[in-house]
Structure 1
């Protein structure tokens, strides 16, 4: 059985993430979405919320599961028997950012990174942009799975005390 890990912060999960999970599942028997618990970032949503939202967003894709990644991604992959890391690419800037990490991960453990080109219709969708639009009162529902826009709105209201 071939297992791949699709890592990310998923703050919040977007339709682009779901697209890449679906495409990855077509290539691998099983895909584990690894929600990063990165101590250097201050996410809008808690790790538990991000796991819950990613799980709900991919619940219709058989063979996809969601877990928290604490520590090195390559260790997480080894513990799960994953043979590949999957990264979605929207364009050249994503490749330039992801390539050094792919090379480092391969040099550490030999695990390969598979780059999957996302749907062109979603190439402008990024979690950081979605958060920014939401922070300024914009409607993000066209860019995120059901339930995510409400979770983001609640988190923003909590952060602003509204």
Structure 2
């Protein structure tokens, strides 16, 4: 780990990937926490072939940018159609941030983290705050219809 002099993890770029359909208060909270730990956090709006998002990847990214606070100067939003590890390699990011809401998420995310590690990128699992754990993108979409 790099030398830490200001209470941060060091000079590190991280990515927070997801389909974000939509970007929930829990997602905002994870980004807010991660932006204090890393020099830069990129929210990567990804394609997941197992999901059928309600908006295009570009539209979801634009919505996140529009809703992001102006003070989040070390946060950017990007789209990606491929493995997150490949995004990291192409953009100099050494950490993937993933949120964990419950035990089922934890098992899935631990398996994914092991794969990412084998491919050379560290995954940091961040537990969702209890008051936000029940708010899923699926639930928010259901409320909108």
The TM-score by the shorter chain falls in which range? 0.7 to 0.9
**Is the 8 Å Cα contact of residues 32 and 64 (structure 1) preserved in structure 2?**
yes
Q: Deviations over 1:38-65 (max 9, x none)?
A: 3442211111110011112224322000
**Is the 8 Å Cα contact of residues 18 and 57 (structure 1) preserved in structure 2?**
no
Of 85, 106, 109, the match for 1:98: 109
Aligned mates of 1:39, 1:121 — CA distance in 2: 30
For the residue of structure 1 that corresponds to 2:125, the secondary structure is: strand
For the residue of structure 2 that corresponds to 1:16, the secondary structure is: helix
Of 9, 15, 30, the match for 2:40: 30
**Is the 8 Å Cα contact of residues 45 and 80 (structure 2) preserved in structure 1?**
yes
1:76 aligns with 2:67: no
**Is the 8 Å Cα contact of residues 35 and 51 (structure 1) preserved in structure 2?**
yes
Aligned mates of 2:31, 2:117 — CA distance in 1: 21
State the Cα RMSD in Å.
Answer: 1.3
Instruction: Indicate the residue corresponding to 2:66 in structure 1.
Output: 56
Q: TM-score, normalised to structure 2's length?
A: 0.86
1:113 aligns with 2:123: yes
Q: TM-score, normalised to structure 1's length?
A: 0.78
For the residue of structure 1 that corresponds to 2:105, the secondary structure is: helix
Instruction: Indicate the residue corresponding to 2:4 in structure 1.
Output: none
Q: Which runs of 5+ in 1 are unaligned?
A: 136-162
Equivalenced residues, count: 134
For the residue of structure 2 that corresponds to 1:27, the secondary structure is: coil
If each structure's helix is expressed as a fraction of its own residues, which one has the higher value? 1
1:46 aligns with 2:56: yes
Q: Deviations over 1:81-113 (max 9, x none)?
A: 1110001122222111211111111112x2110
Q: Which runs of 5+ in 2 are unaligned?
A: 1-10
Aligned mates of 2:67, 2:110 — CA distance in 1: 27
